[in-house]
Every structure is written in structure tokens, then in C-alpha cells.
Amino acid sequence: MKGAFILPKRNLIIPNLIVQEGAISFLKMMFRADVADVAAGGNFFFGLAGETGVAANSQLNDITDELTVVNGYARKPISRDAIGWPTVDLVNGQGRAKSAIANFTAAGGDFSAPFSRVFLCNVVSGSIGLLYAFSAQISPAITATDGNTEPIQYEFFF
């Protein structure tokens, strides 16, 4: 499994690391009807962080540099349906699911810190939940300034 986070405004495609608990969760959701780490009708969520070191065994509670919920920042939901993932197709013979764009807009001031990674998880806030993937480090880090929007998209390949 591989994928990429996309920052459309900047024309950047950033590879990602699907962490171990994410890979196990995806396999369970695909092959076990009795397991639903994201329930039917549930969402995935994109978050922004300044993490410098991530590993294949990273978990959601390992994220220490997620932006603070101020000035419009909050994790963005990506619904698990044709609206949240409108594109499911083949690219060069590989299956791909491409998410809708999630817009992170700073309002009332800049976001609390620059971000250098995007992450995919299964909870709207907090550190109790599942982490599925981290983007590679974005360099230089991005500062979301008051009134500006940072669009994020995800492509998942099999």
C-alpha cells in the first residue's frame, strides 16, 4: 500500500508512510465483517502537525506537535463515501482512491505553528484513536496565515 498527500495550492505531491496500526486496520476493515475501526458512516480525519520524526510504529498518541485548536484549526473530516472519496480509478494499472479537498483556513489569526506533516486518523480530536498515515516532511514548513487557506488531498494506491 502506498499513497500521497497532495497540497493542490502549491502543486506538491508528498509521499506518505502508512503506519503499522493503519495497515492492520485497513486489512481488518477490508476482510473482517466483525471489525470496524471506522464504523459505517464514520469519517477519516486529516490533521496538521510539526512532527520531525515518525516511524512505522508511530501511533496517534505519539503526535506531540499537532497544531493547537485556535484561529480556525481543527482536524477535517473526510467522509467514507463518494463525496469524501469521489475518485476511485486506475492509474498506470494501480487502483487509486483520491479524496476530496479538505480546506484548512486560518481565521482570526495565524495557525498556532507552522506544519510540516499531514496525518490521517479516525478521530476528530485527541490522542485516543488510530493513526493511519503520515505525510513525508514538508520543507520548508507551511505557516497558515490569517485569511489564507491550505487545501489538502489524499491519494491511496493499491
Percent of the chain with pLDDT over 90: 62
3-state secondary structure of 57: coil
User: What pLDDT, in 10s, does the model give residues 20-47?
Assistant: 998 898 888 888 777 667 666 679 999 9
User: Is 0.85 surpassed by the pTM of this model?
Assistant: yes
Cα 116 from Cα 114, distance rounded (Å): 7
Reply yes or no: is the peptide bond before residue 114 cis, omega within 30 of 0.
Answer: no
Sign of the CA dihedral 107, 109, 114, 119? negative
Q: How far apart (Å, rounded) are the C-alpha atoms in residues 99 and 81?
A: 10
Domain extent listing, the chain: 2-32+39-157
Any residues with CB less than 8 A from the CB of 37 and at least 6 apart, and which? 25, 28, 29, 122, 130
Is the pLDDT assigned to residue 101 strictly greater than 80? yes
